[in-house]
Chains A and B, each alone.
Chain A
């Protein structure tokens, strides 16, 4: 199970993509493109045990730690924009150690990408729940 986020596509690349995306349409096109680059989880992983609660759409998270202590996260969602937002999160947090994950300022990152409204507690997509779940796994 591999994907390019956290390795080929890091938060630096995502920041660059969004800096050149002018207007909301360009930013959402970018999110949809990123969603396409994140491979789907297999049915084996799209199960209740991996489900993220707090999403209007269905979303799943699988976490594993490699021999070097780096976390690899795999996400999927049945809504494209949520999946794109997850890819943005994975670019920042996947392939990182627990300490690096804890230190990452997700609010500032989303603010810079002009996507901060998606992290708000009022947003039904539960992206906040995804970020919390990732941070909780990395602390465990």
Chain B
């Protein structure tokens, strides 16, 4: 019996990881790219929510879910570019701009999202990788969305980009030591603008996953802080794209623990278990930001690390 319960919860957590990790993955990869260039963009939450709304609206208006995903990316990158441009002004703090961006992004999404709460937009489809399984819950767990696979591809590509390419090296130089980059003749602001904009494109795409696949609807309470958690997740991943993948899967799984335990009748501790993703974030922050400890792997120009 214990084994069966354990198996059920394990399956729920694993399938939850596959279902819920994609927004974490995209936002953390976007933030990873931004932070590697030496800036923190806390506005990812606003970009995520705007991406969710634009993705849904775009899919509804064009009739193609993938067009919605692209439009969500562009909406995200517009906010990202705004962040980068504001931060170029003298004595502007990137963290403060990020917080303003959270409010701007969610505000725009709520304002323009009103007419799209009711209609049903075309959704992203899923690949049924569990066709071989007899158990319907395994089959349901293996309904994987293409965007998740795209995310894995982006993580690998970004890993190679930083490690193997000249452009990756330039981004790392700008993020590690802006003076050195300037001395080498690179435009620090230009690189940061490009990195933040491209990063926000990914975050916007992550938002469209929320509205176009899972949970799969546009409502104003769609994100419960996933964008902010993803920023913390980058620190946990030590600014390495491949680690972002594992960290995102872990947070996705943590979201599934609460409902999974209640579904098998272990409901006594639901408030505690429901807090799992947030507790996990706190633990990570406590470990990685203890006084006197500089987070290993942090870009040198980053202010909050």
Is B one of A's binding partners?
no
